[in-house]
Amino acid sequence: MVARDIILHHYPRSPFAEKVRVAFGLKGLRWCSVEQPRMAPKPHLVPLTGGYRRIPVLQIGADIYCDTRLILAELERRFPDPPLYPYETRGRADMIAGWADQALFATSLGLVFGLNGDRFPSELHADRAAFTAGKFDGWDSEKMRPRVPSLRDQFRSHLMWIDCCLTEGGPFILGEKPSLADAAVYHPLWYVRGNLGEGEGLSDHPAVLAWMDRIAALGHGNGETMAPDAALDVARTAAPETVDDTASEWSIGTPLTVTPTDWGFDTVKGICLGANRERVVIRRDDPEVGVAAVHFPRIGFAVAAA
Ligand SMILES: N[C@@H](CCC(=O)N[C@@H](CS)C(=O)NCC(=O)O)C(=O)O
């Protein structure tokens, strides 16, 4: 295994990880799969990220990419062919992904927790209550149950939009070829189908189900299991790549904090290595893994001087 290999830190049932696995399939990539716990603590992940605990995280050597928006942008930069933006659709694909990752995901998750929350262990509920800091009813099934009828309505409206995209311009969300928009819209529906079957509206949309099967058929590329310790060794023995993004308000060397604005509000501290409109990169010197560069998207994160 060489240090430049693509390493994904994830767990099988994570919808956001499924978004990245679909992108691996679309691009036909070879990658290493490191399974992380689905709740805190994550002792084999936070030495890499400096405290960020959300899943998935992409690691390439000592470069650590947080959040699927940036993970997919980085995969596109390094492995452009076949593209995630097949028809100069960058703006449209990113806007659709923004809707899918927030509105469609929150509705889907609410439906699963509201209907099936009792099947999840109490430790997971406690973890997610802290993780969301009270937003989304703390993903508490008791509080979410009365919201199920309204969530069902929302979910059905979302399905109608997706169905229209496919029947008016398919076979994929933006047309003839699969794109980032497909990976983003797919993951919340994959989560609903996996947890609740097709009874919550999906069976009324054969075009959506057929599209889901087309996305599943893209596969996940070629993933090989890697031990969490081995991934830490990779970071320890590699040096981060040079960053050339310097067009931003933050000059190189400024101490910064980076914090998600939607959920999982853990702050990461580091020294600015570069930033632009799309991303911010900070350098950390970690006692376990040495120097690492942690990359975040600007969307969905608050950046401030430390
Ligand atoms: N905006 C983030 C969202 C990531 C996210 O919320 N992931 C969920 C899992 S699907 C998570 O981290 N849950 C808590 C955990 O796994 O500890 C992204 O696109 O990566």
Domain ranges of the chain: 6-82+223-305, 96-217
CATH numeric code, 96-217: 1.20.1050.10
Angle, alpha carbons 77-83-87 (nearest 5°)? 120
For 191-231, the pLDDT digits (tens) are: 999 999 999 999 999 999 999 999 999 999 999 999 999 99
pLDDT of residue 40: 96
pLDDT of residue 2: 47
Ligand 1 pocket by Cβ (under 6 Å) = 14-16, 38-39, 53-55, 67-69, 101, 131, 264, 300
C-alpha–C-alpha distance, residues 36 and 96, integer Å: 28
Q: From 13, 45, 53, 54, give the residue whose CB has the most ligand 1 atoms within 8 Å, as the site to mutate.
A: 54
Q: From 16, 109, 131, 195, give the residue whose CB has the most ligand 1 atoms within 8 Å, as the site to mutate.
A: 16
pLDDT above 70 (res 4): no
Q: How far is CA 40 from CA 17, 52, 214, 232, 264, in A?
A: 17, 11, 34, 18, 11
Taking residues 68-80, report their average pLDDT: 96
pLDDT above 90 (res 256): yes
Average pLDDT, the chain: 94
C-alpha–C-alpha distance, residues 132 and 129, integer Å: 5
Backbone angles phi, psi at 187, to 5 degrees: -65, -40
pLDDT of residue 141: 78
Angle, alpha carbons 266-267-273 (nearest 5°)? 140
Among protein residues, the one with the nearest Cα to ligand 1's atom 17 is 39
For 135-183, the pLDDT digits (tens) are: 878 777 788 889 999 999 999 999 999 999 999 988 999 999 999 999 9
pLDDT above 80 (res 64): yes
Q: Which fold would CATH assign to domain 6-82+223-305?
A: Glutaredoxin (3.40.30)
pLDDT of residue 3: 44
Among protein residues, the one with the nearest Cα to ligand 1's atom 2 is 67
With 0.95 as the threshold, say if the pTM is over it.
yes
Q: From 8, 11, 14, 52, give the residue whose CB has the most ligand 1 atoms within 8 Å, as the site to mutate.
A: 14
pLDDT of residue 155: 98
The rounded percent of the chain whose pLDDT value lies above 70 is 98
CB 236 within 8 A of CB 290: yes
pLDDT of residue 246: 66
For 261-287, the pLDDT digits (tens) are: 999 999 999 999 999 999 999 999 999
Taking residues 96-125, report their average pLDDT: 93
Name which of 177, 172, 171, 193 is nearest 83 in CA terms. 177
Q: How far is CA 109 from CA 133, 152, 155, 194, 206, in A?
A: 16, 11, 10, 12, 22
Q: How does residue 1 score in pLDDT terms, banded at 50, 70 and 90?
A: very low
pLDDT above 80 (res 248): no
